A and B are shown apart, each in its own frame.
Chain A
Amino acid sequence: MTTSPLEPENWSCPLPLRDHPTIVMGHGGGGRLSAELVEHLFLPAFGGAGTVLAQLGDAAVVQAGGARLAFSTDSFVVRPRFFPGGNLGDLAVNGTVNDVAMTGATPLFLSAGFVLEEGLPIDELGLIAGSMGAAARRAGVEVVTGDTKVVDSGHGDGAYVTTAGVGLLAPGVELGPHRVRPGDVVLVSGPVGLHGIAVLSVREGFEFGADVCSDTAPLNGLVAALLAAGVDVHMLRDPTRGGVAATLNEISATSRTGVEIDERAVPVPDVVAAACGLLGLDPLEVANEGRLVAFVARDDADRALEVLRADPLGAGATMIGQVVDTHPGVVVARTGIGGTRVIDLPLSEQLPRIC
């Protein structure tokens, strides 16, 4: 078999990719460049429009043998591998558990793939695996299969972990952008920006005047509680890379509705605000690993908040905005002093390799 070099001319809609003939860090950042890569390179390669993949959710929902399954995969390349509040291992479990849970499914089984660099201390791998086991037990999921590969020294960065997860959807549970409608309220389950700032603090050796810990945590318990309480949830998403800004933009675009948030209502911890102020980052664009954004029918807003706040992981839950019909596809923030601004989809990750 011969392989021909990748010819940009053969791509189905190559224009946006031509600006970058090689992969740049932004292609992995979860922002606009990532979206273009998926849309214009991967999606056409895997069948294009009409496929399950074309839904482009963080997890796919598929039918199999009469059951509805949620299925997701995610690779983790965080640097450094250990950070306040977590490490590569629990991040890899929680990240995939959360992607599955956001469909409304109960996550059940995980796979774990390891790409290890020659020279990685076994002790460190032991810590990472131990954290994965603990995180899986906490989330109530089981790691049922795995794989290990080793690359030459200098050809990796210590350890990369890929997890995939499968969950089961209960009958009648159907969340997604098609259910979002004007009038819905937008809730966030707690303070934002902690994971990104925690990783940055250790990577760059910053002291922000207070301890800052990643929020990495499994959110399937929160999701199950919302559904069990009968809250009319329309859509859930965990605002990881690109933060709340990216999540709201994606939902606004796919649901063809407008989102309006009150900037002062967004819970930004002092340490995140201070770090963002110093570094010129926007807290709305900083990654979270243990938060969810919920679009809920307005009548159920109070009950949803009550259910979320009953769990320590949702203790800081609050309403940050609502869905409107006036500017479909656009997220607008009312600023602290009464002006407005458009919250755009972040171009690329502000801080690469945070997950």
Chain B
Amino acid sequence: MKYLDEFGDPDLARGLLDDIARTVTQPWSIMEVCGGQTHTIIRNGIDQLLPEEVTLIHGPGCPVCVTPLETIDRALAIASRPEVIFCSFGDMLRVPGSRDDLFRVKAGGGDVRIVYSPLDAVNLARDNPDKQVVFFAIGFETTAPANAMTVQVARRQGLVNFSLLVSHVLVPPAVRALMEAPERRVQGFLAAGHVCTVMGLDDYGPLVERYRVPIVVTGFEPLDVLEGFRRVLVQLEEGRAELENAYPRAVSAEGNPEARRVVAEVFEVCDRQWRGIGPIPGSGWRLSAAYADFDAERRFDVGGIVTEESTRCRSGEVLQGLITPPQCEAFGTECTPRTPLGAPMVSSEGACAAYHRFRRLDEPAVAGG
């Protein structure tokens, strides 16, 4: 297909892989920040095709995975209320909370709906004036503009029965946290192309300067990812640390000004807890004071939640790139996509699910998931 097949062309891929093999002379550790890139890498077997000197560290860029347990539990509590229609992207439905997930809330009578566009949730609110419609607004900078737009539309339409449960997270503070971590291992980053499509490149220059680390803004098709790796490796081998844009067909330096304007109006920066990782200062967005009346956390009294994380799940270490999923004892045994202990086993962008789905023949067979 035009503009899709071309970015999976086997001959061009072979050429890039040959280039990479010629470039690399010593071991390097590279992190792809975004779960979408992790998915591409594992789905296409790119990890098997790179030189063995290159260690891939999968990043925390799966919004489903890092949504804090407390927020999931809050979502479950809200979704269980009889007056609520709870709308979510499909991935979130199987994410385990402390005791339940949204699928089970649905099976127990909760009105939980999968929507493909957040605006569908606004339409539901308009069509069901006697119900409270709540949209679970998660994601990185990529999904934030559309989510922000929903409250603007809802306000314009005078809808008083629509609210957002917000758990937005931001990439640059996470990169900073990874570089400040004591067990810092990442020597170069593939930055998430679609985040930059919205936000532009402003935030990344200072990170490159401060930590002397190459950052290459990268797309999501196989050739995009290979080109991202190639550029990071060339920089590393040449001792350079620069910001490069390897995804110019989607990313401009200033991003999408209109989307940034909407986001800046609706959201404000806050500290955010990342599941499995911990608190990262200034790493989230919440509704700004002007839109606080659309905040589901204020609308519904769901305080006093006591969370209970699985003690067997090592997703925190996976999300920080300290271990790969198969190194977790529960991987493929206790923890499978059918019985996930942690969120990374759920989302298609989660590293554990990617490894489980596209597991390798040379890995020990995993128990049926």
Q: A183-224 interface mask toward B, CB cutoff 8 Å, 1 = contact, 0 = none? A: 000000000000000000000101000000000000000000
B116 close to A340 (CB less than 8 A): no
Q: By the criterion CB–CB under 8 Å, are B361 and A335 in contact?
A: no
Bound CA span A336–B49, Å: 12
Taken together as a complex, chains A and B put the C-alpha atoms of A273 and B339 apart, in Å, by 29
Please give, as numbers and ranges, the residues of chain B lying within 8 Å of A340 by CB-CB distance: 45, 48, 360-361
List the B side residues contacting A344 at CB < 8 Å. 356-359, 369
Please determine whether A338 and B4 come into contact, CB atoms closer than 8 angstroms.
Answer: no
Docked pose: A327 CA to B226 CA in angstroms: 29
The answer to whether the Cβ of A144 comes within 8 Å of any Cβ in the partner chain is no
**B88: CB under 8 A from chain A?**
no
Question: CA separation between A25 and B106, bound complex, in Å?
Answer: 9
Assess A270 versus B339: contact at CB under 8 Å? Given A32-B369, A335-B43, A337-B10.
no
Give the residues in chain A near B47, CB-CB below 8 Å: 339
Q: Whole-angstrom distance from the CB of A117 to the nearest CB of chain B?
A: 19
A324-355 interface code vs B (CB 8 A; 1 in, 0 out)? 00010010100111111110100100000000
In the complex, which residues 265-281 of chain A have their Cβ closer than 8 Å to any Cβ of chain B?
A: 270, 273-274, 277, 279-280
Contact present for B45 and A347 (CB under 8 Å) = no
Q: How far is the CA of A19 from the CA of B369 in the complex (A)?
A: 13
- Per the bound structure, the CA–CA distance linking A337 and B229 in Å amounts to 15
Partner of B103, one of A24, A336, A339: A24
Taken together as a complex, chains A and B put the C-alpha atoms of A163 and B190 apart, in Å, by: 53
Chain A neighbourhood of B45, CB < 8 A: 335, 337-341
Cβ contact within 8 Å between B104 and A24: yes
Please, which residue of chain B has its CB at the minimum distance from the CB of A27?
Answer: B107
From A16, A206, A336, A347, give the contact of B8 (CB < 8 A).
A336
Closest partner residue, chain A, to B14 (CB atom): A338
B245 CB-CB contact with A under 8 Å: no
Cross-interface CB contact of B361 among A20, A33, A273, A327, cutoff 8 Å:
A327
B120's nearest neighbour on chain A, judged by CB, is: A204
A25 to B103, CA, bound (A): 8
- B4 to chain A minimum Cβ distance, whole angstroms, is 7
What are the interface flags for B341-369 relative to A under an 8 Å C-beta threshold, 1 for contact and 0 otherwise? 00000001000000011111100010011
Cα A256 to Cα B316 with chains together (Å): 37
Task: Write out the residue numbers on chain B whose beta carbons fall within 8 Å of the beta carbon of A279.
Answer: 116
User: Which chain A residues lie closer than 8 Å to B360 at the CB level?
Assistant: 340-342
Do A336 and B337 form a contact, CB below 8 Å, given A22-B104, A22-B108, A277-B4? no
Q: Chain B: how many interface residues by the 8 Å CB criterion?
A: 36
Interface string of A97-135 (1 = CB under 8 A from B): 000000000000000000000000000000000000000
Task: Report whether A32 and B368 are in contact in the complex, using a CB–CB cutoff of 8 Å.
Answer: yes
Name the interface residues of B1-23: CB closer than 8 Å to any CB of A: 1, 4, 8-10, 13-14
Is B338 a contact of A33 with CB atoms below 8 Å? yes
Whose C-beta in chain B lies nearest to the C-beta of A26?
B103
Q: How far is the CA of A33 from the CA of B14 in the complex (A)?
A: 39
Cβ–Cβ contact B1 & A19, under 8 A: no
Q: How far is the CA of A335 from the CA of B8 in the complex (A)?
A: 10
- How does the 8 Å CB contact mask read for B74-107 relative to A, with 1 for contact and 0 for none? 0000000000000000000000000000011011
Q: Does B24 contact A (CB under 8 A)?
A: no
Q: Determine whether A64 belongs to the interface, using a CB cutoff of 8 Å to chain B.
A: no
Verify B116–A204 contact, CB threshold 8 A.
yes
Q: How far is the CB of A129 from chain B (nearest CB, A)?
A: 31
A32 interface neighbour in B10, B116, B338, B356, Cβ under 8 Å: B338
How many Å lie between the Cα of A153 and that of B106 in the bound state?
21
CB of A228 within 8 Å of the partner chain = no
For window 295-343 of chain A, which residues contact chain B by CB distance below 8 Å? Answer: 327, 330, 332, 335-342
* B338 in contact with A335 (CB, 8 Å): no
Interface status of A229 (Cβ within 8 A of chain B)? no
A23 within 8 A of B: yes
Contact B48 A339 (CB under 8 A): yes
On whether the beta carbons of B4 and A341 are closer than 8 Å, the reply is no
Which of chain B's residues have a CB closer than 8 A to the CB of A32? 338, 368-369
B296 to chain A, nearest CB (A): 24
Minimum CB–CB distance from A19 to chain B (whole Å) comes to 6
Contact of A341 among B14, B44, B337 (CB under 8 A): B44
Residues of A contacting B219 in the complex (Cβ-Cβ under 8 angstroms): none
Instruction: Give chain A residues whose Cβ lies under 8 Å from the Cβ of B337.
Output: 347
Given A270-B1, A332-B361: A341 and B42 within 8 A (CB)?
yes
Q: Are B8 and A23 in contact (CB under 8 A)?
A: no
The smallest C-beta distance from B32 to any residue of chain A, in angstroms, reads 16
With both beta carbons as reference points, the residue of chain A lying nearest to B45 in the complex is identified as: A339
**CA of A4 to CA of B103, assembled, Å:** 27
Chain B residues packing against A (C-beta within 8 Å): 1, 4, 8-10, 13-14, 42-49, 103-104, 106-108, 116, 222, 226, 337-339, 348, 356-361, 365, 368-369
Listed by A's residue number, 25 A-B pairs whose Cβ atoms lie within 8 Å are A16-B338, A19-B338, A25-B103, A32-B368, A264-B10, A273-B1, A274-B4, A279-B116, A330-B365, A332-B361, A335-B44, A337-B14, A337-B44, A337-B49, A337-B222, A337-B226, A338-B49, A339-B44, A339-B47, A341-B44, A341-B360, A342-B357, A344-B357, A344-B369, A347-B369
Task: Identify 13 new A-B residue pairs, CB closer than 8 A, beyond the known A32-B368, A338-B45, A340-B45.
Answer: A22-B108, A24-B106, A206-B116, A273-B1, A280-B348, A327-B361, A335-B43, A336-B222, A337-B45, A337-B222, A339-B45, A342-B361, A344-B369
